[in-house]
């Protein structure tokens, strides 16, 4: 699997996102799907993984925080710190993605998070317009590179990503980051400008952390799993105060995987 690097970089810089096409084989998809299910069911375990169950109401604001793994369930909304798992770690370091990541991230390339987003067959949560940056993220400089990979098909009515093209050039909607305010959404005419990006399983999307993006519930009756890796420039530091500073995993170099903290957002 190869990525058209010039085309991807051009689209990313202009629109804040870019289709990358297929980056996983069917065999890789099968392994990753099975591993995600095994982690949710607890048949594969790693100390230090982060889990968040989805809210039964489908309102992401009601999703429980700080509970961790709550027993076997296929309704976990997020599984994070997946660099601790060898199968997902191999995707973070994928040779198909490495040239792209190295073109955009100053070495040594660091990992902010490796995460599975799950919209269960019951629908999952609807995630509003947001940005993946700001003080919420607790780092010295905002990240700008994420690769989002569909592990299941993500059609228009099945939880695909939506973007406001060019919104990465508007800066942070608020210093805190995260959810974009309703008034700002209205003023920017986000609903009129919104672009849906449906993808097939195995296809990837490159996105800038500042681009406004969201995803709806899956209304197909089918689960939608997606894996996302967010990369950091090598000089990025953790600036959080409430816990010990994080040490970030070096992506394309040998080294121990260190403990990481949770992060906001959910697509």
Looking at the domain assignment, is residue 155 inside a domain?
Answer: yes
201 lies in some domain:
yes
Asked if residue 248 is part of any domain, the answer here is: no
Residues ≥6 apart with Cβ < 8 Å to 114:
80, 81, 82, 83, 88, 89, 91, 92, 227, 228, 229
Spatial separation of the C-alpha atoms in residues 262 and 225, rounded to whole Å: 19
Tell me, yes or no, whether 249 lies in a domain.
no
pLDDT tens-digit series, residues 37-93: 999 999 999 999 999 999 988 888 888 887 889 999 999 999 999 999 999 999 999
Please check whether residue 251 lies inside any domain of the structure.
Answer: no
128: domain CATH number?
2.60.120.620
Q: Is residue 235 part of a domain?
A: yes
Q: Which residue has the higher pLDDT, 60 or 194?
A: 194
Number of domains composing the chain: 1
pLDDT tens, 108-156? 999 999 999 999 999 999 999 999 999 999 999 999 999 999 999 999 9
Using CA atoms, how far apart are residues 38 and 27, in angstroms rounded to an integer?
17
* DSSP tally for the chain: helices H, then strands E: 6, 13
User: What is the pTM assigned to this prediction?
Assistant: 0.93
User: Computed over its alpha carbons, how large is the radius of gyration of the chain?
Assistant: 17
Residue 91 lies in a domain: yes
What's the token pair of residue 100? 């792209």
Whether residue 261 lies inside any domain: the answer is no
Domain that holds residue 79: 5-243
């Amino acid at each position: 699997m190869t990525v058209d690097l010039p085309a991807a970089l051009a689209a990313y810089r202009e629109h804040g996102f870019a289709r990358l096409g297929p980056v996983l084989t069917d065999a890789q998809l099968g392994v990753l799907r099975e591993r995600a299910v095994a982690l949710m069911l607890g048949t594969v375990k790693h100390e230090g993984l982060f889990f968040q169950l989805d809210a039964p109401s489908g309102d992401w604001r009601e999703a429980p925080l700080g509970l961790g793994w709550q027993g076997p369930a296929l309704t976990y909304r997020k599984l994070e710190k997946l660099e601790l798992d060898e199968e997902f770690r191999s995707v973070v370091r994928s040779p198909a993605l490495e040239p792209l990541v190295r073109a955009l991230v100053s070495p040594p390339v660091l990992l902010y998070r490796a995460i599975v987003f799950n919209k269960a067959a019951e629908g999952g949560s609807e995630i509003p317009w947001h940005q993946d940056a700001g003080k919420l993220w607790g780092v010295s400089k905002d990240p700008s590179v994420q690769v989002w990979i569909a592990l299941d098909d993500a059609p228009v009515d099945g939880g695909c990503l939506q973007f406001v093209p060019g919104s990465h050039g508007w800066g942070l909607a608020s210093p805190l980051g995260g959810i974009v305010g309703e008034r700002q959404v209205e003023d920017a005419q986000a609903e009129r400008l919104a672009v849906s990006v449906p993808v097939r399983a195995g296809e990837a999307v490159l996105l800038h952390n500042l681009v406004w993006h969201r995803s709806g519930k899956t209304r197909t009756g089918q689960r939608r799993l997606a894996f996302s890796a967010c990369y950091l420039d090598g000089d990025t530091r953790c600036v959080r105060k409430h816990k010990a500073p994080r040490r970030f995993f070096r992506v394309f170099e040998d080294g121990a995987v260190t403990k990481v903290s949770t992060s906001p957002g959910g697509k």
